[in-house]
A = this chain, B = another copy of it.
Amino acid sequence: MQYPNGKKSSQIRNKGNVKQTVYSNRGMSLEKDINDTNQYYLSHNVAIIHKKPTPVQIVQVDYPKRSAAVIKEAYFKQASTTDYNGVYKGKYIDFEAKETKNKHSFPLHNIHQHQIDHMKQVIDHYGICFILIRFSVYQETYLFPAENLFKYWEQQFKNNGRKSLRYETVKKQGYIIPIRYQAKVDYLAVIDQYYMENGGTTDGR
């Protein structure tokens, strides 16, 4: 979407706080945009997608009289799945979202082996699975199907294997996500398109 002054809508939308959201607070702007989008989907009865809570190992809890329990010691645990899942038209949807400041590639160390394992399982069970990759310098967000990701994931473990997805690869094998006023990362628009192009695999088989 181009505006008369040649700026993309996302740049206009972020005017005034682009520095804060993209640089100081890396990762948060994509998460916020997705949460807003999911809230829009929910309130407009389009789909039910939620972010999973951050997994925490709780070690010590105080129960003060007359007030809420306080967790006094806890540690972050590594998630065993992706961050987002839910239901769209009866289908299971599952995805991870990552942001990079890089201009030319998306480093694969942003993803973990167990997340790849989980994605493979989801695909095996006919779920719809992908990662959302935002290149923050371009303010572009792509849906990259999990099916296309696995070979690049494996390649990195070979001799001199590339440890990242090239921007061009993401552009070619992914789908740019339209930015809408309320659904800032309207990934379901791409799901409709992507799965239609692939011969209606949204039917589950």
For the complex, count residues of A whose C-beta is within 8 A of B: 43
Which of B56, B80, B90 lies in contact with A50, CB distance below 8 A? Answer: B80
Q: Residue on B with the closest CB to A94?
A: B87
Contact B88 A125 (CB under 8 A): yes
* A205 within 8 A of partner (CB): yes
The answer to whether A68 and B72 touch across the interface, beta carbons within 8 angstroms, is: no
The interface residues of chain B lying within 8 Å CB-to-CB of A125 are 47-48, 87-90
Contact A127 B75, beta carbon cutoff 8 Å: no
Which residues from B are CB-within-8-Å of A54?
53, 56, 58
Question: Oligomeric state, in number of copies?
Answer: 2
Contact A56/B71 with A48-B125, A121-B48 known, Cβ cut-off 8 Å: yes
A65-96 residues with Cβ-Cβ distance < 8 A to B are 68-77, 79-81, 85-94
14 CB < 8 A contacts A-B: A48-B127, A53-B55, A53-B79, A56-B58, A68-B75, A69-B76, A70-B75, A72-B72, A85-B85, A85-B86, A86-B92, A88-B125, A91-B92, A91-B204
Binding site for B on A (CB under 8 A): 42, 45, 47-48, 50, 52-56, 58, 68-77, 79-81, 85-94, 118, 121-122, 124-127, 204-205
